[in-house]
């Protein structure tokens, strides 16, 4: 159990695990199926998950993702900020920001200066879709879990 004041940090950790887990599995499995990477093993999973999680936590800490999501909602003229449309659009933009930055930087770390930009652009839609669906489905359960974990007063 942790203090209620740590709710944002704990939520970012849980969300970071979800996003990084989905991105790592999607990218490594699709690369393996395309024959451009060896099959996914626990070692290759961990060597990609750990830097991915660190990057995700850094991005979640630096970028005010809820404010960024709300900015895009206002930009697109969404009136009901608490409605279903706002929920899915806000998550869309939050996932888009995380996936674009994370996938580019992680591919750069993985491939160095020889990184093929067309390959990254081709993998981006699938990676984004996998992360978006996972976040859209698991966002509220992650909030609930964080509420349970951060119930300590003080």
Q: DSSP letters along 20-36, please?
A: HHHHHHHHHHHHHHHTS
Q: Looking at residues 137-151, what average pLDDT do you find? A: 94
CA 145, CA 130: separation in Å to the nearest integer?
22
Is residue 109 predicted with pLDDT exceeding 80?
Answer: no
Answer for the pair 22, 134: CB distance below 8 angstroms, yes or no: yes
SS3 3: strand
Answer for the pair 63, 96: CB distance below 8 angstroms, yes or no: no
Q: Per DSSP, which regions of 6-137 are E strands? A: none
79-104 confidence digits (pLDDT tens): 998 999 999 999 999 999 999 999 98
CA end-to-end span of the chain, whole Å? 12
pTM value is 0.87
CA 136, CA 22: separation in Å to the nearest integer?
12
What pLDDT was estimated at residue 123?
A: 87
What pLDDT was estimated at residue 154?
A: 65
Q: Looking at residues 131-147, what average pLDDT do you find? A: 94
Beta bridge partners of 138: none
8-64 confidence digits (pLDDT tens): 999 999 999 999 999 999 988 988 888 888 889 999 899 999 999 999 999 999 999
């Amino acid at each position: 159990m942790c203090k209620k004041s740590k709710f944002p940090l704990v939520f970012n950790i849980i969300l970071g695990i979800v996003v990084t887990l989905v991105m790592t599995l999607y990218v490594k499995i699709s690369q393996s199926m395309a024959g451009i990477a060896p099959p996914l093993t626990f070692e290759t999973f961990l060597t990609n998950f750990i830097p991915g999680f660190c990057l995700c936590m850094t991005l979640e800490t630096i970028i005010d993702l809820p404010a960024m999501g709300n900015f895009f909602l206002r930009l697109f003229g969404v009136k009901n900020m608490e409605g279903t449309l706002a929920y899915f659009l806000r998550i869309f933009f939050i996932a888009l920001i995380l996936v674009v930055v994370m996938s580019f930087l992680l591919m750069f770390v993985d491939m160095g200066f020889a990184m093929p930009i067309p390959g990254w652009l081709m993998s981006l839609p699938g990676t984004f879709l996998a992360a978006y669906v996972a976040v859209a489905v698991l966002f509220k359960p992650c909030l609930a879990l964080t509420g349970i974990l951060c119930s300590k007063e003080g």
